[in-house]
Amino acid sequence: MHLYLRSIIIAGLCLGLAEGAVVRSEYVPRGEPNTAPLRFLTWNIRWDEGKNVTESNVTAALVDGMPPVPKPYYAGADVEKPWTERGYRVANDILFNAVDFFGGQEVSLYQQDTLLTLLGDGYTTVGNGKNGRAKSGYPMVFYKKAAAKLNTWDTFFLSQTPFEKSKYNGTSVVRAVVTAKFTTPSGNTITLVNTHLDHKSEDARRYGASLMLHRAKFEFIKTGGKPVVLLGDFNSNPDSKNNGAYQIMTGSMPPVPLNATFLKTYNWTAAEEQSAGMTDDFHFEDLMGATPARYRSGHFSTTAGSAAACDPKGFHRIDFIMACSIRRWTPKAFRVGENLYDDGVRSR
C-alpha cells in the first residue's frame, strides 16, 4: 500500500515576559505558570480549487450518528481525495485539539471559506485569499477569536522583489509569507510567521528563509522582545544536502544578502536591539527538539510522499513549528499526528 501521507504537527507553548506538527505544540508564558498554553498547528492541506462544487457539498459530509463500517478498511488510501471528503476532517482535528493558531499551506479561497464554515464562529483567518492568489494557494493563519486579538498582518513574497507579487528568479510558483501580530487575553504579544518554501530551488529556499529570519528579528525587536513563532512547510529535510533554509532559520548557516528595500523597510537601531534584550544571535529553535522528551509524541517524519508503507525512501521531515531562540516561552508538548484513517481517507 502506498501512503501519500502528510502529517499534522501540533505544538503547545507558554508565552513569557521574564528574561531569560499534524505538528501540534503547546507553549506557555515563562513567568506566568497559571497561563493556559497556546496551541499551534501547521498543516499543508493540499490545494483544491473546488471546481463545480459548493460549500454545501463539503458540509454534507457532516452526518450525525454512528458512521458506517469501512468496507474494506483502508480502501483507496493511495488516492488523494477531494476537499469535499477531506475538509471536515481537517476541521475535526483543529476543533478536537483545541488549536489556537493554525498555519495552513496551499489554502485556496474555496478551502478557506469552507473551512471557516466548518470551524464555526469561534475562528477567523488572515492571509491574502481575498486579494488574489497563485494557483497553488497562499499560506493562511486561522486563529481562535477567544485566544487572541489581531493587531496587524501583512503578506510579502519570497523573491528578489518581496513587496510585489512575484516569483524568485527561475522558479515556477509564487511563494509568500503571512506575518500576523496578536495580543492574548493576558496581555502578551505574539507574532506568527507562516510560509511554504519552494519545492525545487535550494537557492529560493535559502533566500526565503533569510527574508523570514530578518523580518522575525524585526518583529522581536520592535515588540520589545516578545515571542515570534514560525509555522511552515520547508519542502526540504534538515538531514539532506538541500537543508539550507533549515540551517539558516536555526542559526547554523548565515543568511544570504537581501533586497535593499526590504532591509530599509524592516530596520532597527542598536538601542532598540538592546532594549529588546538581544543577548545572542537571533534565530529559531525547532520545537521537536526543544520540547522535553516525555511531552513529545507521534511520528518523526511529516510526509511519506508516495512511498509504500514501511519504505523509508519517501519519508521526510519537512514541516516545522519553531520559536525564537531568545526564550520568552516554555514548550509544553509537541506531536506529529497522523491523517490517514481506516476508511481510506487522508485529510492532508
- pLDDT tens column, 319-342: 999 999 998 899 999 999 888 888
**pLDDT given for residue 51 in this prediction:** 82
Q: What is the SS3 assignment for 102?
A: strand
DSSP for 138-193? Answer: EEEEEEETTT-EEEEEEEEESSSSTTSS---TT-SS--EEEEEEEE-TTS-EEEEE
**pLDDT given for residue 262 in this prediction:** 98
Q: Put residue 184 in one of left, alpha, beta given phi > 0 → left and psi -120 to 50 → alpha.
A: beta
Mean pLDDT of 106-122: 93
For the purposes of burial, counting CB atoms within 10 Å of the CB of 120, is it exposed (0-12), middle (13-18) or buried (19 or more)? Answer: exposed
pLDDT bucket at 20, cuts 50 / 70 / 90: very low
Q: Are 279 and 220 in contact (CB under 8 A)?
A: no
**pLDDT given for residue 228 in this prediction:** 97
**pLDDT given for residue 23 in this prediction:** 53
Please provide the average confidence, as pLDDT, over all residues in the chain.
87
CA 212/CA 109 separation, integer angstroms: 24
- pLDDT tens column, 155-197: 999 999 999 999 999 999 999 999 999 999 999 999 999 999 9
CA 155/CA 228 separation, integer angstroms: 16
**pLDDT given for residue 34 in this prediction:** 54
Mean pLDDT of 123-146: 77
pLDDT bucket at 76, cuts 50 / 70 / 90: confident
**pLDDT given for residue 5 in this prediction:** 47
Q: What is the SS3 assignment for 43?
A: strand
For the purposes of burial, counting CB atoms within 10 Å of the CB of 32, is it exposed (0-12), middle (13-18) or buried (19 or more)? Answer: middle
Q: Over pLDDT 90: what percentage of the chain?
A: 63
- pLDDT tens column, 143-158: 999 999 999 999 999 9
**pLDDT given for residue 308 in this prediction:** 54
Mean pLDDT of 227-254: 95
Domains in the chain, start-ordered, CATH in brackets?
8-61+71-337 (3.60.10.10)
**pLDDT given for residue 43 in this prediction:** 93
The whole-model pTM stands at 0.91
pLDDT bucket at 112, cuts 50 / 70 / 90: very high
pLDDT bucket at 4, cuts 50 / 70 / 90: very low
Q: Are 125 and 178 in contact (CB under 8 A)?
A: no
Running DSSP on this structure, what letter comes out for residue 98? Answer: T
